[in-house]
Amino acid sequence: MIDFTPSKNDQAAFDRARASALICRKYARYYDENEHEMAPETLPETEAFMASHPEIPPPGPEDSSYPTRLSRLSMIHYWGDYTVRLQRERGGLGNAALSAAGTDEQKKKWMGLCLAMAITEPGCGSDPSRVATTAVLDEETDEWVINGEKIFVTTGIRADAVVLWATLDRSAGRAGIKSFLVEKGTPGFDVPHKEKKLGIRADDTAAYVFRDCRVPRGNLLGGDETIARKGSGGFRGVMKTFNMTRPLTAAMGLGLAEAALDFTREHLDEAGITLDYTAGPATQTAAAERFMRLEGIFEASKLTTMQACWLAGEGKPNNMESSVSKAHAGGSVRVITQGCIEILGAMGISREHLLEKWMRDCRITDIYEGTGEIQRLIIARGLLDYTRADLK
């Protein structure tokens, strides 16, 4: 039986995370309005908080409850503030790819660094098989020579290095695509600009350019290219990363939606509007009825997210479920935050409050790590047993 009741230890960890998330929330407006100003690794009040609230030891990644716990913690952190939290995270999406597809030696060398992941290019987004950045092996020097351009790289400024997708042979399509570990400061690796965005404005999203950038042969993720051809470090190996990160992305968006619901509930309460969960729609106020519908959407999304994480923890396939959680959350966080704004009217769009920011921040849930449309393609293929060629 699936049981999501948190253990006593986990509940204490969640309560602690919620208190610390509220510290981040105090800085949310500042870093939204001062786009690209980096939040310090430790916020002024955080050290005092840490001293008075000792860390509650979590179960390790080998524990089956680990992914579900991680999703709940992500939800809580982003309930505090998406962008300040994102800035303070040490690892990036590239760390997840390294963990899924790197050799032991590579993990030892690179895991302590913050690794971004760069797939998207000006001519390639939803369909990564169109990656045009090239990697050519220089047999004389035993180095890969990389040329190309990447855009919208999350944690692109803060990252120490990047897991970069490049093709060895464009005519080979997906089979030709490999990932490479490239450190900042390598000659030929430039960061020409930071992206300016609608939401998650404090997040350091960057563009990268590679011009004859040389990296050692061993920087191919998964080892040398003959091993990589068999799977590890190749397209499939790295795509597996998303089975865990997509539900976590869903959880982050849901954290914002929960913040919006809490804010709205509080203001409905102040306005004397009662939420009666036992009464039918005919006897509710329109605002209460609308609000409870939004709560229902939230619960459904949260459950799909936790189910995808639970499957990961049990070591069961979750490719389709992770897409269900991401697609569902991507849509529901928009409906919820916009619905809360509609219920509260002017208060909802005022910059005096964070609700309008949560609406902007949550939009990304349905874009990065595969848009909603792409998730629905994956779900349809899974349900109908279609191949990529059958349905694209």
- Return residues touching ligand FAD (CB under 6 A): 93, 116-120, 125-126, 152-154, 197, 200, 205, 364, 367-368, 371, 373-374, 377, 392
Indicate the residue among 182 and 288 with the shorter CB distance to ligand FAD.
Answer: 182
Indicate the residue among 237 and 348 with the shorter CB distance to ligand FAD.
Answer: 237
Indicate the residue among 13 and 119 with the shorter CB distance to ligand FAD.
Answer: 119
In the complex, the smallest distance separating the C-beta of residue 260 from ligand FAD, rounded to whole angstroms, is 20
Helices (H) and strands (E) in the chain, counts: 15, 7
Question: At residue 190, what are phi and psi to the nearest 5 degrees?
Answer: -115, 150
| Measured distance CA(203)–CA(247) in Å, rounded | 20
Using an 8 Å Cβ cutoff, are 333 and 294 in contact?
no
Q: What are the residues whose beta carbons fall under 8 Å from the beta carbon of 200, sequence distance 6 or more?
A: 82, 83, 86, 361, 364
In the complex, the smallest distance separating the C-beta of residue 134 from ligand FAD, rounded to whole angstroms, is 17
Using an 8 Å Cβ cutoff, are 82 and 361 in contact?
yes
| Measured distance CA(294)–CA(339) in Å, rounded | 7
Indicate the residue among 125 and 188 with the shorter CB distance to ligand FAD.
Answer: 125
In the complex, the smallest distance separating the C-beta of residue 84 from ligand FAD, rounded to whole angstroms, is 16
Q: Which two tokens stand for residue 322?
A: 């992770």
- Going by their DSSP bridges, the two strands 206-216 and 189-194 should be labelled as antiparallel
Q: What are the residues whose beta carbons fall under 8 Å from the beta carbon of 340, sequence distance 6 or more?
A: 260, 261, 263, 264, 291, 294, 348, 355
Helix (H, G, I), strand (E, B) or coil at 389: coil
Q: Which two tokens stand for residue 212?
A: 């004859």
Indicate the residue among 116 and 336 with the shorter CB distance to ligand FAD.
Answer: 116
In the complex, the smallest distance separating the C-beta of residue 66 from ligand FAD, rounded to whole angstroms, is 23
| Measured distance CA(275)–CA(140) in Å, rounded | 72
**Catalytic residue IDs:** 369
Give the single-character DSSP code of 91: -
In the complex, the smallest distance separating the C-beta of residue 312 from ligand FAD, rounded to whole angstroms, is 21
Indicate the residue among 99 and 371 with the shorter CB distance to ligand FAD.
Answer: 371
Among 102, 233, 224, 96, which residue's Cα sits nearest to residue 175?
233
In the complex, the smallest distance separating the C-beta of residue 93 from ligand FAD, rounded to whole angstroms, is 6
Using an 8 Å Cβ cutoff, are 165 and 179 in contact?
yes
Tell me the residue number closest to ligand FAD, measured at CB. Answer: 125
Q: Which two tokens stand for residue 158?
A: 């803060």
